[in-house]
């Protein structure tokens, strides 16, 4: 994403918690900041890409955090997948400095970024979102505005809930096929080429018909997002539904109980 922004001609400053993350940009036009606060001071728009809710707080808050350095009128776009309440909490703190916040979680991974086809799900003030659109457009298409602050996170969390459920349904089907004498790898290959295919099934095929290779990469993240989905549903007073039951199958298989 950073490389696409740089190649799009936007003046770019980078900061990362791991120095190794900045090494690929040594030969580019991007500048580097020594702290999140310095990054904030250098930026009109800060695009934040970290793992979880506490990581967002770590980077944004405190004397060395992004908010400490940002100027009035700046914008923070939270690309991380976090609870919508976290985004609203950040927005309240940012408003005290005259800084705007939108949530803009992404889906599609590295190949989509390279093609400029990442999906960005935006929640927040539409005018602020439109100000960000030219930057997002360097790496994303479509860019979908979904409603008020937090809407992007709810949508991304539901996306990941369904992906997890699809993993669970695929694993259950492969186990059934094995019990009926159909080789697991062959069944996965056939299903992935037919009407029952899904991105989740495709991921299972890549790892030889199991989630053993996928679990270390995505297991903890999916567990986080299913947990967030459950708390959002509970807070809204709506039933979880079958999708949670099927998602739990995948989490248990990956040894991540909800």
Q: Is residue 77 part of a domain?
A: yes
Whether 156 is a known active-site residue: answer: yes
- Domains in the chain, number: 2
Same domain, 141 and 20: yes
Residues 94 and 211 in one domain: no
**142 pLDDT above the threshold of 90:** yes
Same domain, 161 and 144: no
Q: The tokens of 2 are what?
A: 């950073």
Per-residue pLDDT for 258 more than 80? no
Q: What is the mean pLDDT of residues 147-169?
A: 97
For 23-80, what is each residue's pLDDT tens digit?
Answer: 999 999 999 999 999 999 999 999 999 999 999 999 999 999 999 999 999 999 999 9
Domain edge (last residue) among 103, 129, 148: 148
Q: Which two tokens stand for residue 78?
A: 């939270």
- What 3-state DSSP class applies to 102? strand
If you average pLDDT over every residue of the chain, what do you get? 95
Q: Quote the domain boundaries for residue 83.
A: 2-148
- Set 31, 93, 97, 156: catalytic member: 156
Handedness of CA 241, 246, 249, 250 (dihedral sign): negative
The answer to whether residue 159 is domain-embedded is yes
74 plus 128 within the same structural domain: yes
Q: Is residue 163 part of a domain?
A: yes
Q: Are 232 and 218 within one domain?
A: yes
> Where is the domain boundary, 148, 178, 201?
148
Confirm whether 115 is domain-assigned.
yes
Q: Decide: 2 and 13 in contact? Cβ < 8 Å.
A: no
Contact 118, 139 (CB under 8 A): yes
Find the CATH number of the domain harbouring 199: 1.10.1040
């Amino acid at each position: 994403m950073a490389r696409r922004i740089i190649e799009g001609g936007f003046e770019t400053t980078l900061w990362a918690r791991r120095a190794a993350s900045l090494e690929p940009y040594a030969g580019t036009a991007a500048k580097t900041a020594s702290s999140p606060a310095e990054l904030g001071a250098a930026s009109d728009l800060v695009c934040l890409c970290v793992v979880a809710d506490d990581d967002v707080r770590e980077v944004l808050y405190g004397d060395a955090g992004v908010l400490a350095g940002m100027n009035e009128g700046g914008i923070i776009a939270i690309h991380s997948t976090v609870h919508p309440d976290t985004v609203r909490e950040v927005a309240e703190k940012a408003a005290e400095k005259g800084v705007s916040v939108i949530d803009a979680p992404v889906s599609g991974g590295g190949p989509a970024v390279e093609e400029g086809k990442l999906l960005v799900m935006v929640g927040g003030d539409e005018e602020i979102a439109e100000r960000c659109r030219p930057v997002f457009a360097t790496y994303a298409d479509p860019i979908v505005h979904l409603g008020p602050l937090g809407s992007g996170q709810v949508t991304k969390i539901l996306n990941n809930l369904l992906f997890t459920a699809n993993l669970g349904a695929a694993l259950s089907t492969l186990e059934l096929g094995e019990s009926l004498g159909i080789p697991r790898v062959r069944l996965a290959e056939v299903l992935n080429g037919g009407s029952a295919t899904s991105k989740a099934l495709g991921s299972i095929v890549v790892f030889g018909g199991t989630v053993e290779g996928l679990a270390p990469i995505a297991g903890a993240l999916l567990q986080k997002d299913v947990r967030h989905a459950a708390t959002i549903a509970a807070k809204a007073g709506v039933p979880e539904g079958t999708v949670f039951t099927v998602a739990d199958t995948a989490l248990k298989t990956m040894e991540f109980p909800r």
